[in-house]
Structure 1
Amino acid sequence: MPKPKDRDGWLAYINGGPSVKEKEASYGPSTAFTPRSVSVASNRPANIQSAGIIDDEPEPALEEDNPRLPTPSILKSLDDHGTIHLLMFVAYWIRRSLDYSPSLKISPTRPLHFPKHHQQWTFSLLAHLDTGLRSEEISHLRELARACIAVVREDLEGEGPVIVDQSTVGGRDEHEEEKGKYSHLTGVWMVIAAIASIWGQRDMWQNAEEALADLVLVRRRKTPKIEPQVLKIEPDRPDVEMDVVLNYG
C-alpha cells in the first residue's frame, strides 16, 4: 500500500495497477481518470522490449487490471490525517481531469471525471472519517464538494439544459421515461450530501444551485382553468303553500 502522501502511488493503487515505482508509469493529464479506457503513456516506444531488443512490430497492449475497492483492513490502516490526504488527492484528480481531459459531448462512461470506483473510495473514506474535524480539514472537504459540483456541471453541459416540471420539484417525477437518466450522478450527489449534512456545510447546496442555475430550467406548472359556476334561478318555480292562522284573542 502506498505511503499516505504518495499521490501518484495512490492513483495507481486505486486504479488496480502496481505502484509507480514498480511500473515506472507516468499518467498523462488526460488519462488521470480513464486508466482502463485509455492506454497508459510509456516513456519508451512500444516496440522496444525491456532487454533492449527492437521488435519489427509493437506488441499489443496488455489488458488493464481491475480497480481496487476499499476494504476494512485498508481503511483501518488509515488515521484521520491519512484519510484527509486521500480525499485531497481525489479532489485534485477531479480538477486535473476537468482541466486536461478532452471535452466530449457525450462520454461513453459517465461521469467521465469521477468514475464509480473513485466514488466508492471517496464515500468509504468519508464514512471512516471522524465527525469532529478542524476548520482546516473541513476546508479540504469543501474543496472536494466543489469538485463534485463541477463534475455534475460538466456532465450536464454535454446534453444541454435539463428541463424539470415545477410539479416534480421536491416530489416524484411523473415522467417514467426520465427516471434513471441521471442515475450515474447519484454517487456524486451522495458525496456532496455527506459533506453538507454530516459536517454542517449546508451552504454547499446553495453553491450547487448557483453553479447549475443555467443548466436546470424549471418549467412552470400549468394552472387548470376553472370556469365560474353561475347559479340559475327558476322564475316559474311554484310558490310554497303556507297556512296562515289569525288569532284575534
Structure 2
Amino acid sequence: MAPSSMFPRHDPDDDDGDMSFGRQILPVANLPANFDQEPEDGMQYLFTVRRDARNLPHVTRVPNPYETPERLPPPPSDILPAVHPALPSPEWRSSFETHYRNFRKNMVQPTTHVHKVEPFPDIHKREWWWAFLSGRPAAEWEPSKKRRGMRAFADDPEPEEFGSSRSMYDEDDESAPTEPLEETAVYKPREPTPSLLRLIDPRMALRLVMYFTHWTNLHLQSSKSYRITQTHARWIFFLLSRVEDYLSADDTSLLRSLARAYLALLKESSTQSKACRSGDDITPGSCWLIISAVVDIWGQRDLWMEAEEVVRSM
C-alpha cells in the first residue's frame, strides 16, 4: 500500500478554484468581480473573502519608529560640472566626446582606396619633423636626399686657405653686397591629410605628440624658431585620433604633459596684446579642443581642476 501524503494532491486537470488560497472545499458563489452588496448567505460571503484576499499584499511591513531616512548618494557623473564660466560647459564636453569618439572610429576603418605612399622624415629626428611640418623642401628632412646632399658636399674641392687669394668681395667689386643676406623664402605649412594620417601608426602618433609638447614648451620660452600655429593644432587633433584607447602609465603621462602645455599656452595667450599676435597663431578654442580630447577620451578628469585654477588666474 502506498504511503499516504500529509498534503492533499492537486489534480492538474481540476481547474475548480484558485490554488493560491488553498483547495476549495466549501461551495463559493459565482458573482461578478464588482459585487458590492451585503452577502445573503455563506457562499456569497466566501466569495467576498477570496476576492479581497487576492488584493492583499503577500508581505506587509511594520513601520520602524527608530528608522532614519537613508541618504542616497548623488548619481555618478562622468563629466564634472564646469564651475568657472570660462571652462567648456558639460553639455559641450559631452557632445564633443561623442563626436570625437565617432571620428576616431572612422579614422581606423579600412579602405579599398590605394593611397600614395609619401616620404616621411625619420621618426627619431625631431628637427627633421619640424622642417617637414613647416613645409620646408625635402632636402632638409628626407633621409635619402639628405644623404645625397652630404655626398655632394664631400665631393666638393677643399676650400683655399685664408689669405691665399684675394677676398671674395673686394672693395672695388660692385657686386659685393652692402647688407647681410636675409632669408626671404616663405614656406607653406604642410596640412594633415587623410592619406598622410593613414600612414601613421599609434606608436608613431604618440611620439609626434611628444614632439609637439616639446615644441610648445619652447614656444612658451619665447623661442622665435618655434611658433605654434593653427596648422599645428590640426596636426595634434588628428594625431590624437590615432592614439590607442588604452595606454600604459608612461604613455598616459605623455598626454597629460601635452594637456598641461596647452593650459600654459592658454594662460600665456590671455596676457598677450592683440598687436603681438599673428593671424596664424593657435586660438584658445583649439587649445580647449586638445585639452578636452585628453581629459575626456583618456579619462584624465582631474586635469579639469588644474584648468579651473588656470582660468581663475587669467
Fold-level match, TM-score > 0.5? yes
Aligned-partner residue type, residue 176 of structure 2: D
Alignment correspondent of 1:90 = 212
Structure 1 residue 4, shift from structure 2 partner:
1.3
CA contact (8 A) 2:121 2:141 kept: no
Alignment coverage as a number of residue pairs: 157
1:147 to 237, 257, 261: 261
1:56 counterpart = 2:180: no
1:116 to 225, 230, 243: 230
1:198 counterpart = 2:297: yes
1:13 counterpart = 2:132: yes
CA contact (8 A) 1:113 1:151 kept: no
Q: Which runs of 5+ in 1 are unaligned?
A: 25-51, 103-111, 160-182, 216-249
Q: For residues 158 and 59 of structure 1, do their structure 2 counterparts lie closer, same or farther at Cα, with a shift above 3 Å needed?
A: closer
Identity of aligned residues (%): 32
Structure 1 residue 63, shift from structure 2 partner:
2.7
CA contact (8 A) 1:87 1:144 kept: yes
1:185 to 261, 284, 288: 284
Quote the Cα distance in structure 2 between the aligned partners of 1:143 and 1:130: 17
Cα RMSD between the aligned structures? 2.7
Aligned-partner residue type, residue 144 of structure 1: L
Aligned-partner residue type, residue 118 of structure 1: H
Quote the Cα distance in structure 2 between the aligned partners of 1:187 and 1:119: 6
CA contact (8 A) 1:153 1:212 kept: yes
1:134 counterpart = 2:248: yes
Which has more radius of gyration? 2
Quote the Cα distance in structure 2 between the aligned partners of 1:136 and 1:17: 32
Quote the Cα distance in structure 2 between the aligned partners of 1:67 and 1:124: 15
Aligned-partner residue type, residue 80 of structure 1: P
Alignment correspondent of 2:52 = none
1:73-106 deviation digits (Å, cap 9, x = unpaired): 222222111111100000000101111437xxxx
Structure 1 residue 12, shift from structure 2 partner:
0.6
Alignment correspondent of 2:81 = none
Structure 1 residue 53, shift from structure 2 partner:
5.5
Structure 1 residue 59, shift from structure 2 partner:
4.9
TM-score (norm 2): 0.46
Q: Which moved more, 1:53-62 or 1:196-205?
A: 53-62
Structure 1 residue 128, shift from structure 2 partner:
1.9
Greater length-normalized contact order (CA 8 Å, ≥ 6 residues apart):
1
Alignment correspondent of 1:35 = none
Alignment correspondent of 2:115 = none
Aligned-partner residue type, residue 86 of structure 1: L
Quote the Cα distance in structure 2 between the aligned partners of 1:184 and 1:93: 16
